[in-house]
Amino acid sequence: MSLNQLIRVDGRKGNDLREISFVKGIAPHALGSVLIRCGNTQVLCAATVEESIPRWMKEQGSEGGWITAEYSMLPYSTIQRKSRDISRGKIDGRSQEIQRLIGRVLRSAVDLKLLGQRSIYIDCDVIQADGGTRTASITGGFVALRLALDKLLTEKKLEKDPVFKSVAAVSVGIVNGEVLLDLNYQEDSIAEVDMNVVMTSDDEFCEIQGTAEKGFFTSQQLQKLITLAQGGIKKLINLQNQIISSEG
């Protein structure tokens, strides 16, 4: 069955993204912010700036600035209440891995030397989770970062745009033997293969995280997954560009 013929539980075809939307300026005190909705997944992404760099950068004599991320799922973002990290006294391993991924990906798109001696923090707070929270955080996080840097450029605090290219991310997977784009939780929870792909606007790969949850997958299936992700990410980058350039 072709991807155009396959109908999924939410009515999408196999190669369809979920409905994607962005709302800019959702956090007025942040320099750049956006609420990204991917189907029922909603993530608030906000960029704040500090006119300093981490101590380790000062000690190493590093040039330029730094970009880092924090990721959290609000207690009511899932069906069963999720305890806050502060109540457990430490960040959980999954959240730590995801925020490192977000920071790593966003840094890859920016010339840190052009930031000057400042740090940019990207906070990604999951309001509602229905699969793909890390990919939504990356896609929305880049928009928040881009909006913040545009303000710094407008205010003449940056002499040159430090962004090399856009980045976005999407999930792909194999569910009941079918290759699918942008899995929701219901699909992700039963997937034979689950993969997250991060790419640039120049069709380059930043990161690929893929796991066979049940059994194995072939090189042919891998290529289908990658091709499907490439098409989805191109659409996401077009949507990013639209919201970044829109008024308001």
Helices 93-108/133-154 angle, 10° precision: 40
From 29-38, 87-96, 188-197, 237-246, the region with the lowest mean pLDDT: 87-96
What pLDDT digit, counting tens, does each position of 176-209 carry?
Answer: 999 999 999 999 999 999 999 999 999 999 999 9
Tell me the average pLDDT of the chain.
Answer: 93
pLDDT at 5 over 60: no
pLDDT at 2 over 60: no
What pLDDT digit, counting tens, does each position of 123-170 carry?
Answer: 999 999 999 999 999 999 999 999 999 999 999 999 999 999 999 999
Token pair 């790593």 in the structure block, residue: 104
Q: Where do the domains of the chain lie, and which CATH numbers do they carry?
A: 20-245 (3.30.230.70)
Q: When comparing pLDDT for 205 and 1, which is higher?
A: 205
Residue 13: pLDDT band by 50, 70, 90 thresholds? very high
User: How far is Cα 116 from Cα 67, in angstroms, rounded to an integer?
Assistant: 12
Residue 119 neighbours by CB under 8 Å, 6+ apart = 49, 50, 52, 53, 54, 65, 66, 67, 68
User: How far is Cα 206 from Cα 155, in angstroms, rounded to an integer?
Assistant: 30
